[in-house]
Structure 1
Amino acid sequence: MDISKIIGEIIEALDKKDEMREEALRITREIVRLSGDVIKALHRKNFDLAEERLRKAEELVRSLKQLLEAHPDIYYTGYVQTAHQEFVEATLFYCYLKGIEFPSPKELEVPEGDYALGLGDLIGELRRHVLLSILEENLDEAERTYRTMEHIYEEIMRLDYPKGVVNVRQKQDSARKLVERTLEDLTRAKLTKKLEDKIGEVLKR
């Protein structure tokens, strides 16, 4: 085959791949944006807005998978992984606050590695929820959430794989620090509450 014809076919194929890549970038940016909106809305207890944004993100995650079905080299790249990670984090945080069982990677239609990374990031949002609960003087909710953080941390520590399989080590290290700091904050809050209660009893007498 003439080299000019070969190059022409290569250009045609790569042009299509580049168009698909650009569309994938657009979709992933929107997934990240919507997932961030979900988390912000949840911390403000605006569940209606969170559910609306989450539904849109779910649709985009499915459309992204369909778009890149024949292009795994794009589907398993960093920016797609980041979008999945943010989506998983937002979904699991929503499920936690609503008391819903966590969906699996298959149910969310995301790769297992991306799900694991999103689960690691969930610990950060749970810590924020603990701190907000402490500010609201809801120590029971703060402790319940801390126990969930601790359990998730213990579970993700079971993921002992090299970076080439899933780059979860950084998430594990970060999770450990967050769990330790949250325990300190919760312990301090409970001790303060006990002290306030005792002072209150003394004043009543």
Structure 2
Amino acid sequence: MKLEEIVDEIREVLDEKEELREEALKLTREIVRLSGSVVKALHRGELKEAEEKLNSARERVELLKERLKNHPDLYFTGYVQSAHQEFVEALLFFAYMTGGEFPSPDELGVPHADYALGVGDFIGELRRHFLILLLDGKVGEAGEVYAFMEEVYNALMTLEYPKGLVNIRQKQDAARHVLERTLEDLTRAKLSRRLEERLEALSGMVDEEAKQSSDP
């Protein structure tokens, strides 16, 4: 072949990849936006809206995989991985908040490494839910969330692989920090609750003694 013909062939291939890349970038931005909306709706208790947004995100995840099925060099890139990560985080949080089963990577159609990174971020959303419960005075329920966070963290820590395979160490370190802060918050809340209960009991005793002393 002449060099010009080879260059023409290269241009044709790269033009197609450029078009697919632009489409993939658009889809990943939509996946990230929709996944964020799912999480916000769940924290507000708007389950119907969360489910609608999640279904829209899932459609785009499937479309992204279909469009890039013959282009692994585009599919296994940072921006696609980030979108998968956000989607997995949102879906896991939705399953937790609605009492559903956690889907596997194969069921979602996302790479296992991307799923693992999403699990790391899932712990962060559990902490936000934990804090909302604390603010509402639901210390017992918050304690249940913390216990589940521990389970997720322990599972996450079993993934010991080199950075070149999956960059999970950063997520593990962040999860450890989140868990430590959450335990501190839970401990303070429990101590505060016990103090309130003792003060209430003491106040009741004082009121009762005052009542008895005033009786003829």
TM class by smaller structure:
over 0.9
**Structure 1 residue identity aligned to 2:106:** K
Task: Tell me how far apart the structure 2 counterparts of residues 6 and 104 of structure 1 sit (CA, whole Å).
Answer: 44
Q: Deviation at 1:203?
A: 1.3
The residue matched to 1:103 in structure 2 has which SS? Answer: coil
Distance, in Å, in 2 between the alignment partners of 1:70 and 1:16 is 12
From the CA coordinates, give the structure whose radius of gyration is larger: 2
- Structure 2 CA distance, aligned partners of 1:54 and 1:140? 29
Q: Deviations over 1:101-159 (max 9, x none)?
A: 21100111100000000000011110111111000111121011101111111111111
1: CA distance between counterparts of 2:92 and 2:53?
14
In structure 1, list runs of 5 or more residues that go unmatched.
Answer: none
Shift in Å, 1:201: 1.2
* Alignment correspondent of 2:146: 146
Tell me how large the CA RMSD over aligned residues is. 0.6
| Distance in 1 separating the partners of 2:163 and 2:104 | 22
CA shift digits 1:32-74 (9 cap, x unpaired): 0000000011111111110110000000000000000000111
Residue identity opposite 2:133 in structure 1: S
Indicate the SS of the match to 1:83: helix
Report SS of the residue matched to 2:60.
helix
Which residue does the alignment assign to 1:112? 112
For 1:114, give the aligned amino acid: D
Q: Which residue of 2 aligns with 1:84?
A: 84
What does residue 57 of structure 1 align with? 57
What amino acid is the match of 1:177?
H
Equivalent residue runs for 1:92-171 within 5 Å: 92-171=92-171
User: What percent of counterpart residues are identical?
Assistant: 59
Verify: 1:181 aligned to 2:174, yes or no.
no
Paired amino acid for 1:201: A
Equivalent residue pairs, number: 205
- Counterpart in 2 of 1:37? 37
Please tell me the residue identity of whatever aligns with 1:123.
I
* Structure 1 stretches of at least 4 aligned residues deviating more than 3 Å after TM superposition: none
Q: What is the CA–CA distance in structure 2 between the aligned matches of 1:115 and 1:109, rounded to whole Å?
A: 10
TM-score, normalised relative to structure 1:
0.99
- Deviation of residue 27 (structure 1)? 0.1
Cα distance in 1, alignment partners of residues 105 and 149 from structure 2: 19
Amino acid at match of 2:153: Y
Deviation string 1:139-190 (CA, Å, 9 cap, x unpaired) is 1210111011111111111110000100000000000010011000001001
Is it true that 1:19 corresponds to 2:12 in the alignment?
Answer: no
Amino acid at match of 1:164: G
2:203 is the alignment partner of 1:203: yes
- How many Å separate the matches in 1 of 2:82 and 2:42? 20
